[in-house]
Amino acid sequence: MTSILEQIKFDKTGDGLVPAMIQDVNTKDVLMLGFMNREALQKTLDTGKVTFWQRSRQKLWTKGETSGNVLKFVSLRINCNEDSLLVLAEPVGATCHTGHPTCYYREAEPSGEDWKTITEPQFDPDEVYKTAS
């Protein structure tokens, strides 16, 4: 096991997970937030593809395994308290399963009454995530 992993406080919330925010290394856009356990982070480091622990399915999930829209791992940052991660990555295609480049594609102003869509979808989700049946 890589020694940098030893410093990360995976046990804080009792589920062996830390939040992992993904940022585009070039544009600095915030792309998505997922959760990692040791195994997910080790796989990320080993393969160079950002991999999460998906809580509902209780399994490892390499982003892009269906869509091909992977996140190429570039580097890792840790916060002061060592209980969350910032992953710098190079996205291949749009990150969000809605087709938007980032999962954070809606914005509300302080005075606003609704969420405004601030990016354009880059693909049609029905095409990319064809329903298996």
Q: Which residues are annotated as a binding site?
A: 80, 96, 103
How far apart are the C-alpha atoms of 53 and 125, rounded to whole Å?
Answer: 22
Give 68 or 110: the residue with its C-beta nearer to ligand PRT. Answer: 68
x-or-dash pattern for ligand PRT, window 58-97, by CB under 6 A?
-----xxxxx-x-------------------------xxx
How far apart are the C-alpha atoms of 1 and 118, rounded to whole Å?
Answer: 41
Question: Closest Cα to residue 71, out of 101, 54, 92, 56?
Answer: 92
**Alpha-carbon torsion 29, 76, 125, 98, what sign?**
negative
Q: How far is the CB of 54 from ligand PRT (least distance, A)?
A: 4
SS3 track for 53-68? EECCCCEEEECCCCCC
Q: Which helix (H) or strand (E) holds 24?
A: strand 18-24
Q: How far is the CB of 21 from Zn ion (least distance, A)?
A: 13
x-or-dash pattern for Zn ion, window 47-86, by CB under 5 A?
----------------------------------------
> Can you tell me which of 32, 36, 50, 89 binds ligand PRT, judged by CB under 6 A?
32
Give 54 or 117: the residue with its C-beta nearer to ligand PRT. Answer: 54
Question: Closest Cα to residue 55, out of 29, 39, 71, 34?
Answer: 34
Chain residues in the site for ligand PRT (CB under 6 A): 32, 34-35, 54-56, 63-67, 69, 95-97, 103, 129
